[in-house]
Amino acid sequence: METILITGTSSGYGLETARYFHDRGWNVIATMRTPREDVLPASDRITVLPLDVTDADSIAAAFDAAGPIDVLVNNAGIGSIGIVEATPVDKARELFETNTFGVMATTKAVIPQFRERGSGVIVNITSSVVLADMPLTAMYKASKMATEGFTASLALELASVGVRAKLVQPGYCPTTQFTANGGDISHLIPQTYADFAGPILEAFSVQGNVTTPLDVAETIWRAVHDTTGTLRFPAGPDAVALAQAS
């Protein structure tokens, strides 16, 4: 029976992915900054562990407690939208700490066991913002583009030792905690840009052909089982459309 460790499973994509793999017979190690076992089914195949991907000691403790795994899904992330001029550099650092450096740190933690076995899969979750130029997302996109570049090079290195690395690019999902995890954004949209930003923010609230957590979980499943050498997997109808148009 295979084991998957997923970061950021308290809600959204991570939670749905944990449920999805569990329903298909996998052992699931669900990690989150503040563990909540009540969000997942009661099962001897689910282990909930604390993990803060920005804390080296937390990463070491989580991987030690997890033991051998077959798949790592780096899903933990925070979002932010705003005008570049109004966005503090500290906000960019916060985004990179979780969305980029956190991914690098957990990836480095798992590579030795995968390399020694000559098998394993690392799936890094980015975003459809990498597929098109989108206003108000510059800082967030920068953190995700960095993870894209990291993973593309990583995949080439790991292929030499029998390990696979994949990217999953979710589209826009209104039901996730994207902006909530990034904090209040009102101060990041100065009045000078109100006429420009207003229609964009309004479009975010439109329930169109968008991505669901299930779309992402299904795509992660496909990425984990892919043996064709495909690196990037857009998730959700809007992300697929952007990928096809790019």
Catalytic residue among 13, 140, 172, 193: 140
Contacts of 36 (CB under 8 A, 6+ apart): 10, 48
Ramachandran assignment for 178, one of left (phi > 0), alpha (psi -120 to 50 degrees), beta (any other): alpha
CA 224 – CA 166 distance, rounded (Å): 8
Q: Is 13 an annotated catalytic residue?
A: no
Contacts of 87 (CB under 8 A, 6+ apart): 80, 138, 139, 188
Angle among Cα 199, 202, 203 to the nearest 5 degrees reads 90
3 state SS of 31: strand
Beta bridge partners of 27: 3
CA 164 – CA 161 distance, rounded (Å): 9
Q: Look up residue 61 and give its amino acid.
A: A
The residues assigned a catalytic role are 140
